[in-house]
């Protein structure tokens, strides 16, 4: 190790990064997607699923559910006393009819399961309208493809137009006419134009008319829309001007404001009368009092800077804002302990201490301005900018005049990201009782004059939606970034209602435990760890990191865990911070929202970290060395960190060979550990976010890269491979749908197998990208942000951004090319762990709560037909037989591990066996009585579990089988379930004239005495 460190120290000293820019003319990327492009992509997606040889493989959901997910709308189902619909941002629409005890998904197979708003027909609870495309404007808020209608409670859906709306703010239905409704369209987030404004249909969505146009500037759309409950011809609409680019977000503009119609949408007037106007007007939320419709509330995200006398200067005498007005002399007047606290609180260079800072400032080597330049980072800027933030305005005359309800600023509610909230609700029976959602939920009982928190410790923050029972206003449901909560006492106490696996994962990782664990970072729900055998109904996941969880690394030697949250804050084992920082007076480092990190596959002591420079630590993050200069080129700067490293990959074949991708579309390669860098992205489209780069495990000059046009509203699938270290690139996206790609992986067992995750699902290629197949098998049409392949268990793990984590058996994918020429093939099976409780007689009263075992048997059939599955023991006796219909391709037979008692003979033989069993029982009773004392001694020496009912069953079966009788008659008579017992078995499958077998081992349970656990084998690996 010392020699290795010295070598790299010398390399870094030899030369700086960036040995020239050898980029060729880069192909121009595509522009914003249209409805035609989206429809063609959807058709291709369905075709790849329909023709896939893997559609018979079944994904299994492993959760988690504990964290909930971003619940953006809640609707009460009419005439269902306990019925609700809950819409999740990217997790689809869910229905409960038992007050949240159980939920069922309604949109898993829809063209878009990205939810913007939901409306239920007040005259028919089975008529559900959804507007796709989330109305939030955050980093992973996806667009949609218009409006859909279900007339059967969500069982089926029909597209109903507005295909270019992209994001829908609100749907309002006229209670007098179910075919007459209004839709507020906020429009595309990253590009101007498209459908924006208020649209009306009078024929149930067959045709739409734009009745309020707000798109003159190309960026303004409708974010909220509400109807006077006493007069459906009166409507209020909130317009919002917002512009987002990869580097900046304009959250407000002169186009923002409130409009009113009194003639059913035919004409509209912009309301002023005291409501703010101008460039600082941001997102607006609306609420009309049901008990007094003349009272209208509006919440406003006001981006105007507060007067300095209203600034929150913080609780420390040396807060950043207090330092802003100081001279060097005033700063140095503070004692060393206070200055030390200032250094640590502001995350300055760890090598700096109070003594050193004081010395530098006294010598004139450091000024207060230099310090202030160091204090601004992306995470701090989310919270510590002094703008007015959320304000509440009230009108008592139907919007003619407005006044702000409160004198002082409402601090610490929406901070600088009020664009993420914008929901306001008024009690249906009390016009003075108002709720607004931000990071906390706050309530006013006096019409907005004073406000109080309505929060509990175990209720998640970031409130996105709410429903108040019109008949019993103390009964409320709220939706936040952590799911759904309900209250029956007006918000004094809350009950968490999360049974849905709707987590928004950014990343997934695994360890090598047996069974292995899955780790992942989630949007606003930290980093979680759970067993790969977990299920949504039995959630084993737990929190191992906070914030917006990001990348996870696990040291394979000892399980040391590296987790982090937004903008590059990473920790070792949750406590020790591991993060490079720029030194004083050096250019500030820029950290991406999803800052990438990686342990070296060559030595897990080596830890890589990507800011705008690539850093390497040789001691697990204790100290850092920059091994590149700034690898970005864009000069664009705004209030979103940009020009950062987004992905990198270390070659497993050659230490020091590293590939690095950036958000401004650059791709770099070093062959010598960072001494020299070459820009190798010349053949790739320019200005597209590099979402993943992966070095091949088998060819040192081969690498795969995906680029993503989400931040340009570009849905093109960008996937490339190089075989010559980046000199040339070849597109592999032919045949893939036009869906932005987030990740590519090379299979660790079969390098010809590639996987990609898109904003609608996962795909696989068996020929290194020449052709592609879908991986349906129950996986919803949800964004896949990350995927991994477990090398031992040979399972594909996907982290979805909306539906938590799913696992698929990858062994048939890895081996299909080798067996595709066979008529039939059964793939190797994982050993089954026998459970003693299987043989216990089922309870009369709790059998439905038990969790029966099952085995999934994947097999390949060249032809469709009836597959017959039989199970044989070591003596070739047939113990179970069942059939299933299969299509050509890979299918999965599911065996419940039960044996068939009728296979030993017909009913007459079974009857004789019963009689023989009775005789045997009498004879055995006499023997037992005679040997009672000896048996007690023997039992004391035997393992306690040897008396297990399964062992008794096996003994009885062997005795009866020796007489040629049914081996299971006694078990049937006693009411025992006939599960397979420990031993070696053969599974045989026949389809037509073709026949194939595979071995199965059911492992005996461990004895109670300690023993050494064998090293887990790679699944399918043959014994030496």
3-state secondary structure of 923: helix
Per-residue pLDDT band for 920 (boundaries 50, 70, 90) equals: low
DSSP 375: H
pLDDT of residue 15: 35
User: Residue 313's pLDDT band (boundaries 50, 70, 90)?
Assistant: confident
DSSP annotation of 413 reads S
Q: How far is CA 10 from CA 399, 605, 625, 674, in A?
A: 71, 19, 12, 11
- Rounded Cα distance between 226 and 299, Å, is 13
Cα–Cα dist 704/768, whole Å: 10
β-sheet bridge partners, residue 185: 168, 197
Which range has the worst mean pLDDT, 262-271, 437-446, 835-844, 909-918?
Answer: 909-918
Measured distance CA(305)–CA(48) in Å, rounded: 52
Instruction: Return the pLDDT at 901.
Output: 67
Residue 890 has pLDDT above 50, yes or no: yes
Report CA 731 to chain centroid distance, whole Å: 28
Q: What pLDDT is stored for residue 107 in this prediction?
A: 98
Contact criterion met (CB below 8 Å) for 269 and 397: no
Distance CA 412, CA 470 (A): 30
Task: To the nearest 10°, report the CA torsion of 36, 40, 43, 47.
Answer: 180
Q: Are 1014 and 1001 in contact (CB under 8 A)?
A: no
> What H or E segment, with its residue span, contains residue 151?
none
pTM here is 0.91
**Largest Cα span, the chain:** 105
pLDDT band of 532, cuts 50, 70, 90: very high
**What is the torsional sign of CA 455, 458, 464, 468?**
negative
The Cα 151–Cα 146 span in angstroms is 17
Residue 7 confidence (pLDDT): 36
As a whole number of angstroms, the distance between CA 598 and CA 608 comes to 5
Each residue's pLDDT tens digit, 348-369? 888 889 999 999 999 999 999 8
C-alpha 292, offset from chain centre: 42
For the ranges 36-50, 444-458, 825-839, 984-998, the lowest mean pLDDT is seen at 825-839
Share of the chain above pLDDT 90, in %: 77
User: Are the C-beta atoms of residues 195 and 168 closer than 8 Å to each other?
Assistant: no
pLDDT band at 946 (very low <50, low <70, confident <90, very high): very low
Q: At what angle do helices 907-930 and 932-941 cross, to 10 degrees?
A: 100
**More confident position, 1024 or 739:** 739
Q: What is the mean pLDDT of residues 85-99?
A: 98
CA 830 to CA 401: how far, in whole Å? 71
Contact residues for 880 (Cβ-Cβ < 8 A; gap 6+): 869, 870, 871, 895, 898, 899, 900, 903
The whole-number pLDDT of residue 945 equals 46
Q: Given a cut of 70, is residue 942 above it in pLDDT?
A: no
pLDDT band, very low/low/confident/very high, at 374 (cuts 50, 70, 90):
confident
b (16+ CB within 10 A) / e for 59-88: bbbbbbbbbbbbbbbbbbbeebeebbbbbb
pLDDT in tens, 563-615: 999 999 999 999 999 999 998 888 889 999 999 999 999 999 999 999 999 99
Q: How far apart are CA 190 and CA 206, in angstroms?
A: 29
Helix (H, G, I), strand (E, B) or coil at 686: coil
Residues near 198 by Cβ (< 8 Å), separated by ≥ 6?
182, 183, 184, 185, 210, 211, 212, 214, 222, 225, 235, 237, 259, 265, 268
Cα 847 to Cα 840: distance, rounded to the nearest angstrom: 11
* pLDDT-derived band at 177, boundaries 50, 70, 90: very high
As a dihedral over the C-alpha atoms of residue 48, residue 50, residue 51, residue 53, rounded to 10 degrees, the angle is 100
pLDDT of residue 380: 64
**How confident is the model at residue 966, as a pLDDT?**
47
What mean pLDDT value characterizes the chain?
Answer: 90
- 983, 699, 715: which is closest to 831 by C-alpha? 983
Per the omega criterion (within 30 degrees of 0), is the bond before 96 cis? no
- Give the separation between CA 136 and CA 421, rounded to whole angstroms: 7
Beta bridge partners, 797, equal 788, 807
User: Is the model's pLDDT at 654 over the cut of 90?
Assistant: yes
Cis check: omega of the bond before 515, within 30 degrees of 0: yes
Name the 3-class secondary structure at 663. coil
Q: Taking the alpha carbons of 48, 50, 56, 62 in that order, is the dihedral positive or negative?
A: positive
Q: Are strands 423-426 and 434-437 parallel, antiparallel or unpaired?
A: antiparallel
Mean per-residue pLDDT for 15-24?
41
What number is the average pLDDT over the span 204-219? 94
203 to 37, 150, 200, 210, 503: CA distances (angstroms)? 27, 15, 9, 14, 37
Q: Are 552 and 507 in contact (CB under 8 A)?
A: yes
The arithmetic mean of pLDDT across residues 713-742, rounded, is 98
- How confident is the model at residue 137, as a pLDDT? 93
Give the pLDDT band (50/70/90) at residue 918: low
Q: What value does the CA radius of gyration of the chain take, rounded to a whole number of Å?
A: 32
- The residue count of the chain comes to 1024
Residue 414 confidence (pLDDT) above 70: yes
**What's the pLDDT at 992?**
96
| C-alpha to C-alpha distances, 995 to 245, 819, 821, 1001, nearest whole angstrom | 58, 14, 14, 20
DSSP for 927-977, written as a single string: HHHHTHHHHHHHHHHS-GGGG-HHHHHHHHHHHHHHTTS-TTHHHHHHT--
**Other beta carbons within 10 Å of 193:** 13
Residue 488, class by beta-carbon neighbours within 10 Å (0-12 exposed, 13-18 middle, 19+ buried)?
Answer: middle
In angstroms, what CA-CA distances link 532 with 197, 536, 539? 46, 11, 11
Per-residue pLDDT tens for 795-845? 999 999 999 999 999 999 999 999 999 999 999 999 999 987 787 766 667
Beta strands in 814-872 (DSSP E): 824-826, 832-833, 855-861, 865-872
User: How confident is the model over 755-777, as a mean pLDDT?
Assistant: 98
């Amino acid at each position: 190790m010392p020699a290795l460190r010295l070598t790299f120290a010398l390399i870094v000293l030899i030369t700086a990064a960036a040995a020239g820019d050898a980029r060729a003319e880069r192909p121009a990327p595509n522009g914003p997607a249209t409805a035609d492009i989206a429809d063609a992509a959807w058709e291709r997606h369905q075709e790849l699923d329909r023709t896939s040889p893997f559609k018979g493989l079944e994904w299994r959901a492993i959760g988690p559910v504990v964290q909930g997910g971003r619940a953006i709308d809640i609707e009460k189902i009419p005439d269902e006393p306990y019925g609700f619909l809950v819409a999740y941002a990217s997790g689809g629409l869910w229905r409960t009819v038992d007050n949240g005890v159980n939920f069922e998904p309604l949109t898993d197979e829809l063209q878009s399961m990205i939810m913007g708003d939901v409306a239920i027909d007040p005259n028919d609870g089975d008529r559900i309208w959804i507007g796709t495309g989330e109305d939030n404007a955050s980093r992973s808020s996806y667009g949609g493809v218009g409006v859909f209608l279900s007339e059967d409670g969500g069982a089926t859906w029909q597209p109903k137009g507005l295909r270019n709306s992209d994001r829908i703010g609100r749907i309002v239905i006229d209670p007098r006419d179910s075919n007459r409704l209004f839709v507020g369209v906020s429009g595309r987030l990253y590009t101007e134009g498209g459908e924006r404004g208020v649209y009306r249909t009078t024929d149930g969505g067959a045709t739409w008319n734009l009745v309020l146009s707000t798109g003159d500037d190309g960026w303004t759309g409708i974010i909220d829309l509400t109807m006077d409950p006493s007069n459906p011809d009166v409507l209020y609409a909130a317009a919002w001007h917002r512009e987002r680019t990869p580097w900046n977000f304009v959250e407000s503009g002169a186009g923002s404001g409130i409009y009113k119609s009194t003639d059913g949408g035919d004409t509209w007037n912009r309301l002023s009368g005291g409501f703010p106007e101008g460039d600082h007007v941001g997102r607006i939320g609306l609420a009309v009092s049901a008990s007094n419709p003349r009272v209208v509330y509006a919440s406003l995200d006001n981006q105007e800077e507060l007067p300095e006398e209203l600034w929150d200067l913080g609780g420390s005498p040396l807060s950043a804002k207090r330092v802003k007005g100081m001279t060097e002399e005033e700063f140095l007047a503070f004692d060393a302990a206070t200055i030390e606290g200032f250094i640590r609180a502001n995350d300055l260079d760890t090598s700096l201490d109070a003594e050193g800072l004081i010395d530098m400032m006294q010598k004139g080597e450091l000024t207060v301005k230099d310090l202030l330049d160091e204090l601004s980072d992306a995470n701090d800027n989310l919270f510590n900018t002094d703008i007015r933030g959320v304000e509440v305005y009230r009108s008592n005359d139907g919007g003619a005049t407005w006044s702000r309800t409160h004198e002082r600023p409402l601090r610490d509610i929406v901070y600088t990201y009020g664009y993420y909230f914008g929901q306001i609700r008024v009690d249906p029976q009390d016009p003075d009782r108002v709720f607004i959602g931000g990071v906390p939920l706050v309530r006013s009982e006096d019409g907005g004059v004073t406000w109080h928190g309505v929060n509990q410790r175990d209720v998640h923050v970031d409130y996105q939606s709410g429903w108040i029972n019109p008949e019993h206003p103390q009964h409320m449901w709220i939706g936040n970034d952590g799911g759904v909560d309900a209250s029956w006492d007006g918000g004094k106490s809350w009950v968490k209602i999360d049974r849905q696996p709707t987590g928004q994962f950014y990343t997934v990782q695994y360890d090598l435990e047996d069974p292995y664990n899955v780790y992942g970072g989630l949007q606003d729900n930290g980093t979680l760890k759970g067993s790969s055998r977990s299920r949504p109904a039995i959630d084993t996941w737990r929190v191992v990191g906070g914030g917006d969880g990001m990348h996870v690394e696990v040291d394979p030697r000892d399980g040391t865990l590296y987790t982090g949250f937004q903008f590059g804050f990473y920790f070792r084992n949750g406590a020790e911070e591991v993060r490079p920082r720029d030194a004083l007076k050096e250019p500030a480092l820029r950290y991406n929202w999803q800052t990438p990190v990686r342990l070296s596959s060559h030595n897990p002591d080596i830890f890589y970290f990507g800011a705008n420079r690539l850093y390497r630590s040789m001691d697990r993050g204790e100290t850092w060395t920059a091994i590149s200069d700034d690898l970005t080129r864009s000069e664009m700067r705004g209030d979103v960190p940009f020009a950062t490293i987004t992905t990198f990959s270390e070659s497993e074949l050659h230490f020091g060979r590293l590939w690095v991708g950036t958000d401004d579309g650059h791709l770099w390669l070093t062959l010598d550990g960072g001494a020299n860098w070459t820009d190798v992205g010349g053949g790739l489209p320019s200005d597209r976010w590099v979402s993943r780069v992966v070095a091949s495990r088998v060819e040192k000059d081969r690498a795969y890269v995906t680029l993503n046009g989400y931040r340009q509203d570009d849905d093109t699938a960008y996937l490339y491979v190089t075989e010559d270290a980046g000199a040339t690139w070849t597109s592999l996206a032919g045949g893939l749908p036009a869906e932005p790609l987030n990740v590519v992986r090379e299979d660790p067992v079969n390098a010809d197998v590639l996987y990609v995750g898109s904003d609608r699902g996962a795909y696989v290629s068996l020929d290194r990208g020449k052709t592609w197949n879908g991986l349906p098998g129950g996986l919803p049409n949800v964004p896949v942000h990350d995927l991994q392949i477990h090398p031992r268990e040979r399972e594909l793990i996907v982290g979805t951004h909306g539906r938590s984590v799913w696992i698929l058996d990858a062994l048939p994918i890895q081996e299909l090319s080798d067996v595709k020429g066979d008529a039939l093939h059964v793939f190797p099976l994982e050993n089954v762990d026998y459970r003693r409780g299987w043989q216990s007689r089922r309870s009369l009263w709790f059998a439905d709560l038990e969790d029966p075992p099952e085995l999934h048997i994947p097999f390949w059939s060249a032809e469709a037909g009836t597959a017959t599955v039989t199970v044989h023991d070591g003596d070739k006796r047939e113990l179970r037989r069942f059939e299933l219909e299969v299509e050509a391709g890979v299918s999965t037979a599911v065996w419940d591990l039960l044996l068939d008692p009728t296979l030993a003979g017909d009913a007459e033989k079974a009857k004789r066996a019963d009689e023989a069993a009775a005789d045997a029982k009498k004879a055995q009773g006499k023997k037992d009585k005679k040997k009672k004392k000896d048996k007690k001694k023997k039992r004391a020496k035997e393992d306690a579990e040897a008396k297990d009912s399964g062992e008794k069953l096996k003994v009885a079966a062997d005795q009866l089988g020796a007489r040629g009788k049914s081996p299971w008659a006694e078990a049937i008579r006693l009411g025992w379930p006939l599960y397979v017992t420990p031993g070696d078995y053969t599974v045989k499958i026949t389809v037509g004239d073709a026949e194939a077998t595979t071995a199965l081992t059911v492992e005996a349970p461990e004895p109670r005495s300690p023993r050494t656990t064998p090293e887990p084998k790679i699944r399918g690996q043959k014994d030496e």
